[in-house]
Amino acid sequence: MKKVIVLTGASSGIGAATAKALSNSPHVLVMLARNEEKMKAIAAEINCISLVIKTDVTKIEEVQKAIATVIEKFGGIDVLINNAGLGYFDPIDEGKLEEWHTMIDVNLKGLLNITHGCIPLLKTSENGHIINITSVAAHQVFPNSAVYSATKHAVLAISKGLHQELQKDLKVTSISPGAVNTAFVNQTTNKEMIDDLKSYFAKGMQPDTIAQQIVYALEQPKDVTISEIIVRPGRT
Ligand code: NDP
């Protein structure tokens, strides 16, 4: 069944892998992120109807404009995949306030900006579905990542609230990955930690593994909701 899917953070990592996993599907894929060139290169590789809209999820006007463009071109939105996000790792007493604010702005407020705009459309869709990419850090607090973890706990809470209140109108899925080998780790500015973090994340899952979980949740029959997936690296 053809669905109009809006994917945030489509320029890299899990988002890019998700776009590729949707290649050859009947769906319409709308790709949002700030790096337009990267998204255009991914769109050129995939074989389904796609649209790239340069959007910073922290900017409400850009988000609203992107949603208006999707309505104009495709008439509505069936699926919102909230994947845009970032993490800065630091001991809490060395944390940089600006980095804490950025994590809250992107991971939490950015997610709310687009979710708020999409809810009315998802409610009227026959196939309304929100898929939120959280993290194992939504379930436990790891050292050096208290604020990142707080944003992902919040995303999990929002997912549960959306499900509780809107389950008659739409599906809600939260997917919580452990370490995934993407550019995610490169955000960290703590020079003492970065080498260890890079080698830790390099041993993580491939982004396509998470993309396959997203597709799995997406392609369930209409009467089945996958509420939560937690996926961790296996033994190597
Ligand atoms: P990447 O760094 O590879 O991708 C992050 C994506 O988020 C990019 O497409 C980036 O696009 C986008 N993004 C960041 N800021 C903004 C913004 N202001 N507006 C719009 N898009 C933005 O990391 P991952 O693919 O690993 O991360 C994807 C999600 O998975 C995140 O939510 C992350 O927290 C989560 N996650 C990752 C794990 C990991 O180990 N990698 C583990 C658990 C969860 P652009 O810069 O072009 O705007």
Q: Does residue 200 carry a catalytic annotation?
A: no
Residues 142-168: what's their mean pLDDT? 98
**What pLDDT is attached to residue 1?**
84
Give the CATH fold of the 4-231 domain. Answer: Rossmann fold (3.40.50)
Domain extents in the chain: 4-231
Give the nearest ligand 1 atom to 210 CA. 30
Q: Quote the tokens at residue 207.
A: 């982004």
Q: Quote the tokens at residue 188.
A: 């960290």
Whether the predicted pLDDT of 236 surpasses 70: no
**Nearest partner of 148 among 159, 158, 160, 136, judged by Cα:** 136
185-208 pLDDT, tens per residue? 999 999 999 999 999 999 999 999
Q: CA distances (Å), 71 to each of 3, 66, 84, in order?
A: 13, 9, 21
81-92 pLDDT, tens per residue? 999 999 999 999
Angle between helices 111-124 and 146-166 (to 10 degrees): 20
In a mutational test of the pocket of ligand 1, which residue from 18, 60, 83 has the highest number of ligand atoms less than 8 Å from its CB?
A: 83
**What whole-number distance in Å separates Cα of residue 166 and Cα of residue 52?**
29
Predicted TM-score (pTM) of the model is: 0.98
Report the nearest-CA residue for atom 48 of ligand 1: 34
